[in-house]
Amino acid sequence: MSVSRFLSLVSCGLLLFAADGLAAPQPKAAWVRGARQRLAKSSKWNSKRQYTQANGSACIETEPADFQAPKDNIWSGLTNWEAASVTKWLFEQGELNLTVSDDAGDWDNSILLVELMVPNKTDVLPYIDGNATAPPRYAHVVLDLRTTEEPTYNDILVGPLPVKNGTTTWQPLEYPYTRKTGGSIRNLDADSTALETDWLLKIGASISDITFDLWGGTATGADNDTLDIWGIDPLWQYDGKITRWDTFWNYPTDDFDAETLLPLGLFFKSDVTGRDPSKWKLEGWLYNDIFYPTTDAFRTAYWDSNFTKLGANVEGDWARSDKIGPVLPMDAASPPQSVAPSGSRYSVDQKAKYVEWMNFSFYISFNRDTGLRLFDIRHKGQRILYELGLEEALAHYAGNDPVQSGTSYLDSYYGFGPYAFELVPGYDCPAYATYMNTSFYVSETTHTHINSVCFFEFDADYPMQRHSQSTYVANTKNIYFTVRSVSTVGNYDYMFSYEFYYDGSIRVEVRASGYIQAAYYAHNHDYGYHIHDSLSGSMHDHVLGYKADFDILGTDNTMELTTNIPVVQSYVWSDHPRNTMKLQRSFVESENNSKLLYTGNGRTQYRVVNTDKPNKYGEYRGYRILPADGTIHLTVENSSNLVDAANWAKYDLMVTKQKDTEPRSAHPYNGQDVYNPVINFDKFFDGESLMQEDLVVWFNLGMHHVPHTGDLPNTVFTTAHSGVQFMPLNYYDTDISHETVNMVRINYNDGNVSNVKTFGQQQAVCSVDLAKQDPDLYSYKGDVVIRKFPYDPNDPYYETDAIV
């Protein structure tokens, strides 16, 4: 059958059902029931899904033979039972003196996190590449020890698992950190309850006459408060003091999460050193760029007749994300949508969290700090990357006010795992995508985010390849495979995508949406645009640090740079020297010179190669790291906020020798001690050779974000994005994308087609029922929580947390 037949069948089906939907909308209840059944079915299957193509009739879903990962997924996380038994065991260790989180106050010890300790690569390779047994399992536990004057967070290792009296022990976890203090780091947030009730709200109450006069509201802890108070992150940590700046924000007046758009422009400084709120000191007020050393000074000035009062930021439709304006031309008609007529052309082992698409395969892992990660990414059976995932996301603000100036969020503190919510089918991922649940264990509960990772194929809006000539045209479809999750960390939504292509390339992409954190507009035109009444779109850099542990044809790898350089060159065949260019090749020889900035004009190719295994032409086979989509590093130099807490953010690409003692470039509590963070990334660079060693490439994505009116109410994914591609370079002897059957060659002459070659690609002959394809959005759940101490898997409840 011809290709044009295939196209017309599919588009006919689409038109038919779309027209149906328009003419006679289904009653909601029936529609919902049908779609819910479909969703229940698709989230249940855990093996290869295929559709039988009945000729002309509806595509029928079938469940084929079991599909199993080749090895156990040793990165996938603790089982519910493991997490529960570790928790129970911890409560039996009297010396830890633990209190159940629900009962714990600011002066009790509690368990924050129980998760899998990712095994050492050295111990894993003999298992995944050979016949060795899987390495023993350990739990990584974070304790919040707050019974003393000097509260700490403590990373400990518990194991081996399963828990057994006598053999299971706990020990301080120190080997993955550059700071050698027994896995212990001070906790500057131990007194959050006291801070709120005994400090911030009391200060709010002390000036309620002024807040009421200025903004018609108060922040006192009363039920009718309309103001919130919060401020900088991380706290100032110098001169032997812990200092914070806070400011007032209007609460939104409805469900919209608009608070970060509603700053009010009054700031106060507190010395909050130590754990005794009675010893904390208010150190002054700032309003309209005038500093007042005491509350009395501020009040006196305020009530003076010459005091200048500035406007407030108040929620309105401008801050709400619902539809505005008249309906755009034809916009109410159903837009185009993608269908998967043959069902999924990939395999997912839901239990092992293992995926195969075309000749790619990988294991999925998920953790509290950074969410989704991929391990053992192979192409044609050969590992390309041992590990690929986010390490940390920094949002570094600036401003002439102390709160914006003092804000440098290190988001793994909040965690990407806890905020990786259920994806919205048909919006975050196509309706036909496959979903996976993710889980994490905090404060004696297991949280499961249903359908929080999705997998799908998509047809890019451009072909992979084409060529026309007078007698033929050849064209290959660009069908790619995406793994995606979204984490909403406070005001921001980060969409993380990993994409795989027929040509063997892999793309890492991040997009940002959600609410900006805006500044109060006063004297700060150098730090952002004026975007609403009293609002500045506060400038900030997003820098997202990733780890890519490449293994190109084994673990002995080298980073090669190939740069286009301009030259004046003489040639035997030319009577004048010629101004031209040539290639300059070099290696990143050691950690002495392995912090790299992308060269101007994109002239350098960065490539991980294996120099021991050249191709048949003597060129090194490798994968190139190609900044593809606006990557950045941090603008601020030697940040006063961060000091040594985010040294990974200073360059574009950083190469180190892989070490079991350097698995992470960042730690969620780095902001607790910025002068001596748990992981100081600079310390990874100790001059070691990088020639034919196991290399890790730490790379940054990000955006210089200067919000403008188009960021209201929310930043848009279209322009807030960043990405890199890893592309095979001299890796295969040819472009391998023409292995796909999804290509065509049309031979023609004198206006007549003599032959259409379709290479055995399947014809989509079944019809797609778009009504069934429409997901049931009433089945959206949020967060399913199960208490694990005492362990009760039969009593789940729903709870969706957000911060701010």
Ligand X SMILES: *[C@@H]1O[C@H](CO)[C@@H](O)[C@H](O)[C@H]1NC(C)=O
| Separation of alpha carbons 526 and 779, rounded Å | 47
Residues 537, 540, 544, CA angle at the centre, nearest 5°?
A: 135
Interacting stretch for Cu ion, rule CB under 5 A, among 376-384, 455-463, 471-479, 699-707? 699-707
Positions touching ligand X (CB under 6 A) are: 43, 55-56, 92, 97, 99, 107-109, 120, 123, 130-131, 138, 147, 163, 165, 175, 217-218, 222, 224, 304, 306, 350, 359, 380-381, 437, 448, 450, 590, 592, 637-638, 660-661, 687, 689, 750-752, 784
* Catalytically annotated residues: 411, 492
- Residue 304 binding partner per list ligand X, Cu ion, none, with a CB distance cut-off of 5 to 8 Å that depends on partner kind: ligand X
| Separation of alpha carbons 96 and 152, rounded Å | 13
Give the nearer residue to Cu ion in terms of CB position, either 708 or 738: 708
What is the pattern of x (binds Cu ion, CB under 5 A) and - over residues 602-641? ----------------------------------------
Nearest approach, Cβ of residue 298 and ligand X (Å): 12
Helix-helix angle 208-215:295-303, to 10 degrees:
40
**HEC secondary structure over 54-103:** CCCCECEEECCCCCCCCCCCCCCCCCHHHHHHHHHHHHHCHHHCECCHHH
744-772 burial code (b ≥16 CB/10 A, e <16): bebeeeeeeeeeeebeeeebbbbbbbbbb
- Residue 750 binding partner per list ligand X, Cu ion, none, with a CB distance cut-off of 5 to 8 Å that depends on partner kind: ligand X
- Residue 381 binding partner per list Cu ion, ligand X, none, with a CB distance cut-off of 5 to 8 Å that depends on partner kind: ligand X
Nearest approach, Cβ of residue 264 and ligand X (Å): 14
Give the nearer residue to ligand X in terms of CB position, either 580 or 640: 640
Sheet holding 535-538, edge to edge: 519-520, 535-538, 528-532
Nearest approach, Cβ of residue 637 and ligand X (Å): 4
The residues, any chain, with a CB within 8 Å of residue 598's CB and separated by 6 or more, are 604, 606, 627, 631, 652, 653
Give the nearer residue to ligand X in terms of CB position, either 281 or 704: 704
Please report whether residue 396 would count as binding Cu ion according to CB under 5 A: no
Give the nearer residue to ligand X in terms of CB position, either 286 or 784: 784
Nearest approach, Cβ of residue 571 and ligand X (Å): 36
Task: Answer yes or no: are the C-beta atoms of 636 and 661 closer than 8 Å.
Answer: no
Q: Would you tell me how many other CB atoms lie within 10 Å of the CB of residue 539?
A: 21
Please report whether residue 705 would count as binding Cu ion according to CB under 5 A: yes
- Residue 670 binding partner per list Cu ion, ligand X, none, with a CB distance cut-off of 5 to 8 Å that depends on partner kind: none
Please report whether residue 721 would count as binding Cu ion according to CB under 5 A: no
Give the nearer residue to Cu ion in terms of CB position, either 48 or 705: 705
Q: Would you tell me how many other CB atoms lie within 10 Å of the CB of residue 446?
A: 23
Residues 357-386 close enough to bind Cu ion by CB under 5 A: none
Give the nearer residue to ligand X in terms of CB position, either 516 or 768: 768
517-528 burial code (b ≥16 CB/10 A, e <16): bbbbbbebeebb
Task: Answer yes or no: are the C-beta atoms of 367 and 115 closer than 8 Å.
Answer: yes
Nearest approach, Cβ of residue 703 and Cu ion (Å): 7
Cα of 33 vs its chain's centroid, Å:
33
The residues, any chain, with a CB within 8 Å of residue 313's CB and separated by 6 or more, are 250, 261, 262, 263, 264, 518, 520, 532, 533, 534, 535
Give the nearer residue to Cu ion in terms of CB position, either 633 or 705: 705
| Separation of alpha carbons 192 and 486, rounded Å | 28
Nearest approach, Cβ of residue 542 and Cu ion (Å): 5
- Residue 635 binding partner per list ligand X, Cu ion, none, with a CB distance cut-off of 5 to 8 Å that depends on partner kind: none
Nearest approach, Cβ of residue 200 and ligand X (Å): 17
Give the nearer residue to ligand X in terms of CB position, either 575 or 750: 750
Task: Please report where in the chains the tokens 């000191």 appear, as a residue.
Answer: 281
| Separation of alpha carbons 210 and 157, rounded Å | 51
Nearest approach, Cβ of residue 602 and ligand X (Å): 26
Residues 472-531 close enough to bind Cu ion by CB under 5 A: none
Nearest approach, Cβ of residue 392 and ligand X (Å): 20
Burial class (CB in 10 A: 0-12, 13-18, 19+), 282: middle
Give the nearer residue to ligand X in terms of CB position, either 355 or 516: 355
Please provide the DSSP assignment of 396-457 as one string.
EE--SSHHHHTBEEEGGGT-SSTT-PPP-BTTTB-TT-EEEEEEEEETTEEEEEEEEEEEEE
Distances (CA, A) of 46 to 41, 328, 357: 10, 42, 15
DSSP 762: P
Give the nearer residue to ligand X in terms of CB position, either 219 or 632: 219
- Residue 175 binding partner per list ligand X, Cu ion, none, with a CB distance cut-off of 5 to 8 Å that depends on partner kind: ligand X
- Residue 92 binding partner per list ligand X, Cu ion, none, with a CB distance cut-off of 5 to 8 Å that depends on partner kind: ligand X
Phi-psi region for residue 724, left (φ > 0), alpha (ψ -120 to 50) or beta?
Answer: beta
Strand (E) or helix (H) holding 7: helix 3-23
Helices marked H in 281-387: 295-303
Interacting stretch for Cu ion, rule CB under 5 A, among 246-254, 352-360, 553-561, 704-712? 704-712
Give the nearer residue to ligand X in terms of CB position, either 574 or 752: 752
* Residue ranges of E strands in 124-258: 137-145, 152-161, 169-172, 184-186, 227-231, 243-250
- Residue 448 binding partner per list ligand X, Cu ion, none, with a CB distance cut-off of 5 to 8 Å that depends on partner kind: ligand X
- Residue 166 binding partner per list ligand X, Cu ion, none, with a CB distance cut-off of 5 to 8 Å that depends on partner kind: none
Task: Please report where in the chains the tokens 């005491």 appear, as a residue.
Answer: 294
- Residue 784 binding partner per list Cu ion, ligand X, none, with a CB distance cut-off of 5 to 8 Å that depends on partner kind: ligand X
- Residue 705 binding partner per list ligand X, Cu ion, none, with a CB distance cut-off of 5 to 8 Å that depends on partner kind: Cu ion
Nearest approach, Cβ of residue 331 and ligand X (Å): 35
| Separation of alpha carbons 648 and 666, rounded Å | 8
Nearest approach, Cβ of residue 196 and ligand X (Å): 18
Which residues of the chain form contacts with Cu ion (CB under 5 A)?
705
